């Protein structure tokens, strides 16, 4: 589902998995290539991101982009800056036991990226529900 919540576009999906499984998938840098259509490789000293984590991603267009995790609410929300520009936010909302809502927040200036996030949400759901 896509919803406008200025200054963001929210792309959400209900996922039948635990919040822990979903959070693990979203914060494990070794898994980003599995669900992120725009990411080919990740380099970071940390496997699991946290506030202040840094690294770089190789984009689907073939160039490397530095990132920093600039907002963090453990087990609920993280966002990052890529090339020092506010990029997507990643939110997990518990609906009930073993059922969550994944929300990607896309800055309004990057509205077309909501399509990529919709694809990513579908991949995250497939991976999280399979591992659960």
Which pair of structure tokens corresponds to residue 2? 């896509």
Helix (H) or strand (E) holding 131: helix 113-131
CA distance 122 to 120: 5
* CB atoms near residue 60 (< 10 Å): 12
pLDDT given at position 98: 94
User: Along the chain (132 residues), what's the average pLDDT of each consecutive run of 10 residues?
Assistant: 80 97 97 98 98 98 97 98 97 96 95 96 96 62
pLDDT given at position 132: 55
Which pair of structure tokens corresponds to residue 22? 């979903």
pLDDT given at position 38: 96
Give 89's strand partners.
Answer: 79, 105
pLDDT given at position 71: 97
Q: Which of 121, 63, 113 is nearest to 87 (CA)?
A: 113
Contacts of residue 65, defined as CB under 8 A and 6 or more positions apart, other chains included, come to: 56, 57, 58, 59, 82, 83
The helix/strand count (H/E) of the chain reads as: 3, 8
Whether this model's pTM surpasses 0.85: yes
pLDDT given at position 3: 73
Give 32's strand partners.
Answer: none
């Amino acid at each position: 589902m896509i919803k406008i919540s200025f200054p963001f576009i929210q792309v959400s999906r209900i996922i039948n998995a635990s919040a822990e499984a979903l959070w693990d998938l979203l914060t494990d840098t070794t898994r980003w290539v599995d669900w992120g259509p725009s990411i080919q490789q990740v380099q970071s000293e940390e496997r699991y991101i946290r506030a202040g984590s840094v690294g770089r991603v190789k984009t689907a267009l073939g160039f490397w982009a530095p990132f920093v995790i600039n907002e963090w609410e453990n087990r609920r929300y993280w966002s990052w800056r890529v090339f020092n520009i506010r990029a997507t936010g990643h939110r997990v909302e518990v609906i009930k036991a073993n059922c969550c809502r994944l929300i990607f927040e896309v800055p309004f200036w990057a509205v077309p990226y909501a399509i990529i996030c919709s694809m990513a949400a579908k991949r995250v759901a497939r991976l999280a529900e399979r591992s659960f």
